[in-house]
Structure 1
Amino acid sequence: MPIVRDAAYAVFQHFGVDALFGNPGSTELPMLQAMPSDIAYVLGLNEAVVVAMADGYAQATGRPALVNLHSAAGTGNGLGSLFTAYRGGAPLVITAGQQARSLLPRDPFLGAERATEFPRPYVKWAAEPLRAQDVPAALIRAFHIALTPPTGPVFVSIPVDDWDRDCPMPTLPFLSLTSFPDPAGITKIAGMLDNATRPALVLGAGIARCGAWDQAIALAEKTGADVWVAPLTGREVFPENHARFAGFLPGYEERLVALLNGYDMVLVAGAPAFTWHAEGRASAWPQGTAMALLSDDPQHLAILPRGTGVLGDVRGGLLALVEQVRQREGPVSTARHPIPLPARALSPAHVMARVAALRPDRAIIVEEAPTARDAMHDHLPVTQVGGFYTTPAGGLGYGLPAAIGIARARPGNKVICLLGDGSSMYTSQGLWSAADQQADVSFIILNNGGYAALNNFARRFGLNELPGTTIAGIDFLALAESHGVPGRRVVAVEELDPALAWSFQTSGPTLLEVRVI
């Protein structure tokens, strides 16, 4: 009869795990004994870094990522990144150490009281098996739940003395977890598109998660529909240099409704309708505009305010729509106007334009620079599948470590990680992991000396001055070099291109601090 540890590693290998992301503690040490040689231990210096690295890795590979946290304290440290993973649909299987079962009735040091409740509601499922021999079966269930659409993180608390206990080896089943949309619903949406004079597609991150990039392009080209990116989308969904691409919808109701006014049919795919950033003026949905929604997330259908909703695999649904709708030509999208190149100055817009001009082929963009997002949309188009990642939840600290996980998943691609100076400090310990793994990441910090995005957002609430938004005195080069990452500082516009060329041509991690105006 095997022991729990051996059975657990058999489960991990069955589901294609080749890395364990963690920051070890005493209640996890027995798990780490006799790790198989084909599973690497990826160390992060705190749990927020660990979870975000695993998130990036899972998103970029399309496979589940395994995370190990240290009891309640480590789980607490990782909760911000766990919230982001939950909102982004990252299939993470998180194990957390628990004190020995014999000590739990006596409130021991490092004991996690009600361990399964702590990460909720930002996991799809949480369990602490009642017996040691049930741990492998719980892990199998965890992987299945994490991988069932809509994908997301799960959590298993495992007492420290379970790993060396005897257990039966459970059967390792193969399950097909994708469910095809109702054909009648697809036929109805196809009819709505055929009857529309001017249709639009609104695409969300579900497109990237199910691999529907090509199907979205095919549907847009066959129907002549304009394509918009859904509000606050964290992944690439459509080539932004395509003639049918219209632009990015805002998370403000009155502005979004105005942009969609004039379309007589809107199909939302892989996103809710819609994600709002702040309360706005109530805006009436354009008269005569029909809506349909296709998603693998039942919550998206539950909050659908109007129209037709169809539940199921987005890729399969789009493929069926391409086969059913009639071919027609649509004019080149007039929604997105040509944007002139910015003035030659150290502005976010100029930096984005130069990154676009100098980036290596197949480079992947990871962004967490909220102040520069509009400039990125205007001057740094995402044109390839798997080419873009950003936080889907609004919390900071995702970008830097996620870029490291993405680089591990995509070793043939340079990763360009665009960070604000405030964003970069949330998980700066990740620089050590980047150096340790020799992750091929160009970190670019756009330093404007504060939380400028928050100051901009404050104006929506009528606030002219906001405390706690000035950041000064941080030496980003010293910070990077202390973690083993070489860096350069750019303070003049003529220094930008040589610095970008150096960073993009260097193998392994580098950091540029750009003093933007």
Structure 2
Amino acid sequence: MTEILDFQGMPASSPARIHTVRDAVFDLMRRFGLGTVFANPGSTELPMFRDFPMSFRYVLGLQEATVVGMADGYAQATRNAALVNLHSAAGVGNAMGNIFTAYRNRTPLVIVAGQQARAILPFEPFLCSSRAAELPRPYVKWSIEPARAQDVPQAIARAYYIAMMPPCGPVLVSVPVDDWDQPAAPVAPRLVSVAVRAQPSIIDRIGAMLDASERPAIVVGAAVDRDNAWDDIVALAQRHNARVWAAPMSGRCSFPEDHRLFAGFLPAMRESIVSRLAGHDLILVAGAPAFAYHVEGAGPHVPEGAALCQLTEDPDTAAWTPVGVTAVGSLRLSLRDLLARPAPAVARRLPPARQPTPRAAADMPMSTAFVLQTLAELRRPDDIVVEEAPSARPVMQACLPHVRSETFYTMDSGGLGYGMPAAVGVALGKPGRRVIALIGDGSSMYSPQALWSARQLNLPITFLILNNRRYAALQDFAPVFGFAKDDVIEGTELPGLDFPALAAGMGCKGLRVEDPRRLRDALADALDSGEPRLVEVRVA
């Protein structure tokens, strides 16, 4: 996210104006750029919003998971932390799935959770959070319930700095309901440098290995796009004529997928990763784990005869990487340090190009490939796709290439319920841009309340629901765990869902498309409408 948080040029707080905890926190929010609050209200949060500044924006979500998903998308889109307000233990519990996703996404969120009044906490009152700081752990970077009301503003300032320091992530401050009206002194924001540079000797070693390699490969992860290093990774790949793979389960697009050097997507299986990287003598993993696995595997982590190098902003990821050399620091700075080295004396030959995907037929029922190829033809290059359709992801990777920075978002966690609200947050954070929420029918049931928020905010989002009437990802994955091809898998069929009716109930226009001849016009109309629309497509 942001490299430098510099508040020195902002007007100083006026002690005469700041009398209460609420005043001091509002002042911090204003100067940290946290004037948009994502929330679902509860009784213990009401005093926070008395005299809410007219310049602030309250974004209401109808369920706490939706609230956190919207804030996650907004924070990623704006490259600044987002402020979230949740209701004590119950609200934080409802939100935990998307708090976990924010943690995996490395998204900076400052979560302020309500708490019962201090005077009655010893009596385990109704709606209290008896272990408020422990509840969200281990999926927040830091959490606290301040010892005194007067400590709340300083705790929120500290939370913001921690959330924004790489690797970014969510933090939580629990605030008792009676703290907001207590007296408090102002807290002045500080200049905090959060750009960490990797050790030069390690960068030199990785650079020398890259120069000496005959057949290098680069594996890119979400941190490349998060750290604004898109142009740098493209320049490094072109300098070395290195094939570029997308890391398993990456939540961002970090390399143009129509580029001559782009090789494809690595699966989250050890043996398959080794097979696809076979023939390379050096593998440089940039901004990703090495590697994210989904199922148990065996054997080496890299092909025989290949060396592994890694650039990561995350010390924990560096610590469990099983082999190779790792440099910990900003991805952008590490890549620029590699690019500052002299170019290799002899240019390598270009590796083989990735083969294009054949055009799908307009069959009925439609294939997912036909739907996504049609969408690819209609989409503008700067349109943003927020995806949560696990079974369709391999088809999307083949048929819907993302070619610009900050035009693709999904969850690094694998947890459902992120995509629809994240699309709302991204649209808020990128005003004027068209957003496409590409969602599976099963995924859409986790946070459908996002449709209501999208309608209330009148955001230009097309919710494209790929309806195959089942949890296809589970059915496709079942053979890994010993199911036969024709076995019945309990709980994976989803008949009878009516998505246009669901959209109408939330105030959105929606329609169902089953005839491939109607698809192009339906998608074009939704994309050009400038408002939230839902298009359900029945796919085979």
Q: Which residue of 2 aligns with 1:139?
A: 156
Q: Is 1:405 aligned to residue 405 of structure 2? A: no
Moved more, 338-347 or 190-199: 338-347
Partner of 2:74: 57
Query: Contact (CA 8 Å) 2:381, 2:404: kept in 1 or not?
Result: no
CA–CA distance in structure 2, aligned partners of residues 507 and 171 of structure 1: 41
User: How far off is 1:170 after superposition?
Assistant: 2.2
Alignment of 1:72-151 (within 5 A): 72-151=89-168
Equivalent in the alignment of 1:503: 526
Question: 393, 401, 416: which is aligned to 1:396?
Answer: 416
Correspondence for 2:359: 341
Match of 2:459 among 433, 439, 451: 439
Alignment-derived partner of residue 374 in structure 1: 394
Cross-structure match for 1:318: 335
Identify the residue that residue 8 of structure 2 maps to in structure 1.
none
> For residues 284 and 44 of structure 1, do their structure 2 counterparts lie closer, same or farther at Cα, with a shift above 3 Å needed?
closer
Q: One-letter code of the match for 1:196?
A: S
The answer for the alignment partner of 2:246 in structure 1 is: 229
Structure 2 Cα separation of the partners of residues 307 and 103 of structure 1: 55
Matched ranges for 1:75-474 at <5 A = 75-283=92-300, 285-327=302-344, 328-334=346-352, 336-345=354-363, 346-463=366-483, 464-474=487-497
- Displacement of 1:338 in angstroms is 2.1
- My pick for the range that moved more, 335-344 or 444-453, is 335-344
CA distance in 1, matches of 2:452, 2:19: 37
Label 1:88 to 1:435 Cα distance change in 2 as closer, same or farther (>3 A): same
Amino acid at match of 2:489: L
User: 2:138, 2:317 → 1: CA distance?
Assistant: 17
| Partner SS state of residue 110, structure 2 | strand
Corresponding residue of 1:23: 40
CA contact (8 A) 1:194 1:325 kept: no
1:142 and 1:24 map into 2 onto residues whose CA distance is: 21
Contact 2:214 / 2:348 at 8 angstroms: preserved in 1? no
TM superposition shift of 1:323: 1.4
1:281 & 1:295 partners in 2: Cα distance? 25
Q: Which amino acid aligns with 2:493?
A: T
Q: Per-residue displacement from partner, 1:133-181 (whole Å, max 9, x unpaired)?
A: 0000000100000000000000000000000000111232120111111
Distance 2:334 2:301 in 1: 29
Alpha-carbon contact 1:223-1:325 (below 8 Å) kept: no
CA drift at 1:102: 0.2
Moved more, 334-343 or 380-389: 334-343
Deviation by residue 1:467-499 (Cα, 9 ceiling, x = unmatched): 000111111101101101101110111011110
- Shift of the alpha carbon at 1:428? 0.6
Distance 1:339 1:112 in 2: 53
**2 CA distance for matches of 1:369 and 1:168?**
48
In structure 2, what is the Cα distance between the partners aligned to 1:442 and 1:329? Answer: 45
Are 1:513 and 2:536 an aligned pair?
Answer: yes
- 1:360–1:504: 8 Å Cα contact kept in structure 2? no
Q: Using the TM superposition, give the Cα deviation of residue 335 of structure 1 relative to its aligned residue in structure 2, in angstroms.
A: 5.9
How far the C-alpha of 1:330 sits from its partner, in A, is 3.8
Q: Is the 8 Å Cα contact of residues 75 and 109 (structure 2) preserved in structure 1?
A: yes
Query: Separation in 2 of the partners of 1:285 and 1:439?
Result: 45
Question: Which segments of 5 or more consecutive residues in structure 1 lack a partner in the other structure?
Answer: none
CA distance in 2, matches of 1:100, 1:171: 27
Equivalent-residue separation in structure 2 for 1:408 and 1:286 (angstroms): 44
One-letter amino acid of the structure 1 residue matched with residue 308 of structure 2: M
Q: Aligned ranges for residues 39-54 of structure 1 at < 5 Å?
A: 39-54=56-71
Give the letter for the 2:405 counterpart.
V
Asked if 2 retains the 8 angstrom alpha-carbon contact of 1:191 and 1:325, the reply is no
Structure 1 position 68 matched with structure 2 position 85 = yes
Residue pair 1:222, 1:325 contacting (<8 A) in 2 also: no
**Greater CA drift, 10-19 or 55-64:** 10-19
TM-score, normalised on structure 2?
A: 0.94
Name the residue aligned to 2:6. Answer: none
Is the 1:190–1:325 Cα contact (8 Å) retained in structure 2?
no
CA distance in 2, matches of 1:363, 1:285: 36
- Name the amino acid aligned to 2:347: E
For residue 371 of structure 1, what is the amino acid of its counterpart?
S
Instruction: Identify if the C-alpha distance between structure 1 residues 287 and 230 changes in structure 2 by more than 3 Å, giving closer, same or farther.
Output: same
Report how far residue 284 of structure 1 moved: 6.0
Q: Quote how far apart the aligned CAs of 1:360 are.
A: 2.9
1:287 Cα deviation from its structure 2 partner: 2.4
Distance (whole Å) between structure 2 residues aligned to residue 217 and residue 182 of structure 1: 22
Residue matched to 2:10: none
Residue in structure 2 matched with residue 485 of structure 1 by the alignment = 508
CA contact (8 A) 1:193 1:325 kept: no
- Distance in 2, matches of 1:511 and 1:284, equals 42
Identity %: 50
Q: What is the Cα deviation at residue 227 of structure 1?
A: 0.6
**1:194-249 C-alpha deviation (Å, 9 max, x unpaired):** 00001111111111111110100010011111111111001010000111111101
Q: Secondary structure at the match of 2:58?
A: strand
Q: What secondary structure is seen at the aligned counterpart in 1 of 2:272? A: helix
Contact 1:230 1:248 in 2 (8 A): yes
Aligned-pair CA distance for 1:334? 1.9
Map residues 1-40 of structure 1 onto 2, 5 A cutoff. Answer: 2-40=19-57
What one-letter code is carried by the residue in structure 2 that aligns with 1:98? Q
Separation (CA, whole Å) in 2 of partners of 1:465 and 1:122:
35
Range that drifts further, 96-105 or 369-378: 369-378
Give the conservation status (yes or no) of the 8 Å contact 2:509–2:533.
Answer: yes
Secondary structure of 1:458's match? helix
- Aligned to 1:8, the other structure's residue is in SS state helix
Deviation track 1:376-432 (CA, whole Å, cap 9, x = no partner) reads 111100001101011111111110000000000111210011111000011011110
Q: Which runs of 5 or more residues in structure 2 are unaligned?
A: 1-17
Letter in 2 for 1:312: G
When the two chains are superposed, the root-mean-square deviation of aligned CA atoms in Å is 1.1
Tell me the secondary structure at the aligned position of residue 508 of structure 2. coil
**What's the TM-score once normalised by structure 1's chain length?**
0.98
Equivalent position amino acid for 2:496 in 1: G
